[in-house]
Amino acid sequence: MVAVTETEASSLLVRDLKKSFPAPDDPLVRREVLGGISFSLAAGELVSLIGPSGCGKSTLLRLIAGLETSDAGDLLIESDPITAPNAERGLVFQDPNLFPWLSVRRNIQAGLVARGVLHEKKQEVDEFMRLVGLEVFANAYPHHLSGGMAQRAALARALINHPKVLLLDEPLGALDAFTRMRMQDEVLRLWQTRRTTMLLVTHDIDEAIYMSDRIMIMTPRPGRIERTIAVSLTRPRQRSSDDFLRLRSDILNFLHFAGKA
Amino acid sequence: MEAQEDLVSTEPAEPASILRWRTMLAVPVAAAFALTLHTFIAKNEPPLEAHSYRLLFFEVIAVAIVLALLRRFSPGLRRWMARMWPIFTAAILLLCVWDVVTLGFRLLPLPYFPGPSAVLRSLINDRVMLLDSTWHSLVLLLSGYVLGVIAGLISGICIGWSTPVRYWGMPILKVVGPIPATAWIPLAMVLSPSAVVSSAALIALAVWFPVTMLTASGISNTRASYLDVARTLGAGRTYLIFRVAIPAALPNIFIGLFMGLGASFLTLVVAESVGVKSGLGWYVSWAQGWAEYGKVFAALIIMAAFFSTIMTLLFKLRDHVLVWQRGIIKW
């Protein structure tokens, strides 16, 4: 069902990945969260991962980020195995998680400081602050930012390390509907200018169709990729075009949410 | 008083400025009242004692009038006066109450409760010794406090960050920590040849416990997602500890520093009154031995000023370090 294409260009390769956690009610029983996940991302691709909550989307992202270790399977980034967190795989959460004790500028340059390269790459800080339109807020503290601005700062903070893959865990989930649509364009703009490979976890079907090259649909217990849909609509996409709505109802049907249509 | 009320009402200004005039006048009026009251009460007292107390209020009146005139030129001074004047007035009236209760009606037994004029007299007469005692207290307090804070930060960070250190350190902390540092005095006096050294060590111990406890809890409660984000940004352990966990724990650490400061004051005074032969704590018990309670009160006043100044400095440091919290929480 899932076609794994191991091309030279694939920047991330996931093969038969398994992960289980001890059950909360009985620590002796291990519950399988991911039951053999396989897929690959081509360089510069934007792929969405959708599915009901509890299907292991976030766990998968944490495994790729290196924050958890898998039970079985392969995780390769440009054919190097993933063992620990690393600046080459950026992660943006639903909560921007900006460090409240640092100004916006210092938050954005945190990755450079952490890798000890701030001195050589000082000019990039300004570049990335311009990229997300936060120059004016350079010296503001995070709690002065609106939700959208804070998330833009978090994106800049992750992108400044030039990650090979940017992992996005429902990054726009906490924003209101209008801000979210604006931020979808913002993320697309960043993706098109930086050509960063992105893996976007979302539970917003419209967002997945609007943004991604491919959509992977996951089902829970244990989490599997049930179906992969290539989205061939031309960009910029119209949220109310016939093709868009047809694709949307396909996905809803597949997830048994269509109702009596 | 009535004449001044008239003065206020003739001012052709809005209610806010009337209020300001009343506030301005409160301090000199209260001082004049205290002066009159004391002159009346202290008819039979030695003139020298009453003299300096009266002089104090003349000075207060003079300064209040000068400031009232100067306030036009400085908005900062105006704000400060508007904020502090009611408190100063209350303080002066409190002195009046003290004066009446002690010197006026002799409601409190002598010599244990001298009047404010006698205390002021002791304060002035014994100023050299008081200053010297304050200096010794400051040196002892700071050496103990700084030592305790350094030790507390190191052990707190280790316990908060490392699981094995937490496992072995927590029981020690829980058993040894709650013992009041003053309870170690008998042992400390035996162990160390110098009372000053052992007192500094006791103050350090008193400070060490709250600082360690609060630092450890702050570090171990660092939001996991901050650490996750930092890891995916390429952070190593040094960055995680010093640039994520410690900044995140700073609000907690400051609570520990405040608690430790309170404990250090207590330990300082006790240590000085039982072992060390200098400092304000020693001065109080020495004056008590001679039944010179005026000096006891004088030393208490110096202590209040001394400790609250140090506390204020720590508040200022916190405001500076935790400036990023402004707008998130109310202090």
Structure-token pair, residue B106? 């002799």
Are B165 and B312 in the same domain? yes
pLDDT, residue A199, reads 93
Are B108 and B153 in the same domain? no
Are B31 and B146 in the same domain? no
pLDDT, residue B163, reads 93
Q: Are B177 and B138 in contact (CB under 8 A)?
A: no
Q: Which residues contact A94 (CB under 8 A, 6 or more apart)?
A: A169, A170, A171, A173, A174
Lowest mean pLDDT of B3-12, B185-194, B303-312, name the range.
B3-12
Is A110's Cβ below 8 Å from some Cβ in B? yes
Segment B179-206 mean pLDDT: 88
Are B88 and B200 in the same domain? no
Distance CA B225, CA A97 (A): 7
Summarised one tens digit per residue, pLDDT across range B68-78 is: 888 888 888 88
Summarised one tens digit per residue, pLDDT across range B195-223 is: 888 899 999 999 999 999 999 999 999 99
Note whether ipTM > 0.85 here: yes
Are B77 and B226 in the same domain? no
> Domain ends where: B64, B86, B113?
B113
Chain A residues within 8 A of B225 when measuring between CB atoms: 93, 95, 97
Q: Which amino acid is at A64?
A: I
Is B245's Cβ below 8 Å from some Cβ in A? no
Chain A residues within 8 A of B329 when measuring between CB atoms: none
Summarised one tens digit per residue, pLDDT across range B122-150 is: 889 899 999 999 999 999 999 999 999 99
> Considering the domain boundaries, does residue B223 fall inside one?
yes
Structure-token pair, residue A189? 């703009």
Distance from CA of B148 to the nearest CA of A (A): 26
Segment B224-252 mean pLDDT: 93
CB contact under 8 A, A113 and B247: no
> Considering the domain boundaries, does residue B122 fall inside one?
no
pLDDT, residue B49, reads 67
Give pTM, 2 decimals.
0.84
pLDDT band at residue B14 under the 50/70/90 scheme = very low
Q: Which of A93, A144, A158 sits opposite B225 (nearest CB)?
A: A93
Domains by residue range for chain A, with CATH? 10-254 (3.40.50.300)
Distance from CA of B213 to the nearest CA of A (A): 22
Summarised one tens digit per residue, pLDDT across range B265-285 is: 999 999 988 888 889 999 999
> Domain ends where: B113, B142, B163?
B113
> Considering the domain boundaries, does residue B250 fall inside one?
yes
Range of the domain at B279: 127-325
pLDDT, residue B2, reads 39
pLDDT, residue B10, reads 45
> Considering the domain boundaries, does residue B313 fall inside one?
yes
Lowest mean pLDDT of A30-34, B85-89, B297-301, name the range.
A30-34
Are B183 and B232 in the same domain? yes
What's the total number of domains in chain B? 2
> Domain ends where: B89, B113, B137?
B113
pLDDT, residue A91, reads 93
Are B107 and B140 in the same domain? no
In DSSP notation, A72-131 reads EEEEEETTEEP-S--TTEEEE-SS----TTS-HHHHHTHHHHHTT-TTTTHHHHHHHHHH
CB contact under 8 A, B247 and A101: yes
pLDDT at B243 over 60: yes
Is A260's Cβ below 8 Å from some Cβ in B? no
CB contact under 8 A, A100 and B325: yes
> Considering the domain boundaries, does residue B330 fall inside one?
no
| B 246-305 residues with CB < 8 A to A | 247-248, 250
Are B91 and B222 in the same domain? no
pLDDT, residue B156, reads 96
> Considering the domain boundaries, does residue B281 fall inside one?
yes
Are B139 and B185 in the same domain? yes
Q: Which residues of chain A have pLDDT under 70?
A: 1-10, 257-261
Are B60 and B104 in the same domain? yes
Chain B residues within 8 A of A85 when measuring between CB atoms: 228, 231-232
CATH number at residue B172: 1.10.3720.10
pLDDT, residue B312, reads 94
> Considering the domain boundaries, does residue B286 fall inside one?
yes
Residue of A159 and B21 predicted with greater confidence: A159
Summarised one tens digit per residue, pLDDT across range B34-46 is: 989 888 888 776 6
- Of the candidates A61, A58, A88, A76, which has an alpha carbon nearest to the alpha carbon of residue A196? A88
> Considering the domain boundaries, does residue B120 fall inside one?
no
